[in-house]
Structure 1
């Protein structure tokens, strides 16, 4: 694994240097879009609506639109924000672990001790285990201030980003306001049904059947020869488009206008009309 961030857990005068790693990964098969007629790839270009050019990432800023005005925010603007510069996972409080609603959990990250000694790391881990508490923390990651839960998983500290309270929708369904009567017999039968499916949860017993069938379908098509050469899906102008298709279009337009102007300049000027001679009378 490759760390995505370095910082330190801080609470009181205690400082625990850590490296942060993504705890999950996506195994879904990556698919792209193609034209159903000729198999050509469908591309999405970052084209400026003002100049028409394809813009590389290094020249792209972010902006906020309030309807009437747009405020452009540069990379330097984001770096100037104090939270973005912070490399601390700041513990706000320690709460009973059972008070956290799982609906609040977002992304999970593993924390590795960063330094010669792991004593402070192990001390914090054992303290959380002994007190059955979870640390609520503030931290900044990828230009966003986050709320997090710091807990123990095995021998590792896990940081889970939490959704803010106003990001969780309230479930208000009129049907649940109606009084529903459940008999004891219905409840007993339902409980018996649950008991018939009762088991211990073992995650490795479950697999993504859709992805397995999709992979089998792809392999079958490859074996059958039902495929095209990848290079053929890009077309002939792939390199030009990558390097700035908008500029090519602008250049072609400029050349076209230049040729038209050159032709106009080379056209022979219409002959000048000579002034009519005045008639002279003989004496």
Structure 2
């Protein structure tokens, strides 16, 4: 890195010489403008409106216009402003970090000790650590007096330039003054959605998708030339994105929760349950292989009875007698018992109604369940 400025932090009567380095850099792909007909580079010229000549940068000065009068300010005159000549970062206050409005943060700079002994630098850093505060400073950089915050990052002092208060616009939106009613259910579901997406922030886990896809487009263009098909390159139609159906707020929350829950269940190797499913749902028996058809109904019934701790025999065979993809109800019929629980389970399952009804009417329920397993258990849950 190359230092862009040298100065000193004035910490009371303590002077801390420092070098200033830009802490951030731009990695965006650089593009320039061309004429679309022949690819010729488009360049801008500094042309004077009075004499129509192209002017060298060294002959350009700055000016201010007011009420029809123009005041030309030469470079030497601008450099004569006292604040511009100051190379001092003056500490004016020490404040709690939570009092700083993030919207005021502008650009960040690293400060390196610029003396043979970094003792004063380390002393200021320790003072900030011990008091758990941020130093508010004033300094001049690039023809502008600036406000800044001095804080610590990885044992290095960081100077963050701040916007002046009058540079932050006031948010005044009449639409927010409307009386909006939020139901308790909406608040509960939104809180549940937030909780399902809660995580520790890791910047390294995010990527600049636009720059990645721009690089992909450039490489495809270099390889294919004008025959480039953007739909084939990106897998979507050009300009597509951001389109979606307009749905109710509650429905959007519900779908979002279902999607998050389904994703986490899939990652854990279990079948995702919708938020509206019954508490006793279990699709464990739906994926049994067809080669153990009669044994599958028995083992599934036993597993269901053991997991619920009740007379859950009525919830095992239904799972084997229905499709794997429709086994969310998780109730199954016992192998030979005709009870009220069996009828209730059969009524609740819209997809397995016929199979369960046949098993309830015939005494040989084991045979019916086995047939259903053999014909429908081809797809695992």
Alignment TM class, shorter chain as reference: 0.7 to 0.9
Deviation at 1:180?
A: 2.3
Compute the TM-score of the two structures, normalised by the length of structure 1: 0.78
Deviation at 1:178?
A: 2.2
Corresponding residue of 2:180: 180
* 1:96 aligns to 2:96 (yes or no): yes
* 1:167 aligns to 2:171 (yes or no): no
Corresponding residue of 2:134: 134
Corresponding residue of 1:223: 223
Alpha-carbon separation, structure 2, partners of 1:125 and 1:57? 42
Deviation at 1:189?
A: 1.1
Corresponding residue of 2:232: none
Residue by residue over 1:111-170, the C-alpha shift from the partner in whole angstroms, topping out at 9 and shown as x without a partner, is 011111111111111111111111111100001110111111111111011000011111
Corresponding residue of 1:147: 147
Tell me the secondary structure at the aligned position of residue 170 of structure 1: coil
Deviation at 1:225?
A: 5.5
Alpha-carbon separation, structure 1, partners of 2:223 and 2:191? 50
Corresponding residue of 1:105: 105
Unaligned runs of 5+ in 2: 227-381
Structure with the bigger RCO (C-alpha within 8 Å, sep 6+) is 1
Tell me the secondary structure at the aligned position of residue 121 of structure 1: helix
Query: Which is richer in helix?
Result: 2
Corresponding residue of 2:2: 2
Alpha-carbon separation, structure 2, partners of 1:59 and 1:145? 26
User: Which stretch of structure 1 is more off in the superposition, 203-212 or 173-182?
Assistant: 173-182
Corresponding residue of 2:30: 30
Compute the TM-score of the two structures, normalised by the length of structure 2: 0.58
Runs of 4+ in structure 1 displaced over 4 angstroms? Answer: none
Corresponding residue of 2:205: 205
Deviation at 1:188?
A: 1.5
| Root mean square deviation of aligned Cα | 1.4
Tell me the secondary structure at the aligned position of residue 17 of structure 1: strand
Alignment of structure 1 residues 250-261 onto 2, 5 Å: none
Corresponding residue of 2:308: none
Residue by residue over 1:80-138, the C-alpha shift from the partner in whole angstroms, topping out at 9 and shown as x without a partner, is 00010000001111111110010000011110111111111111111111111111111
* 1:55 aligns to 2:55 (yes or no): yes
Deviation at 1:175?
A: 1.7
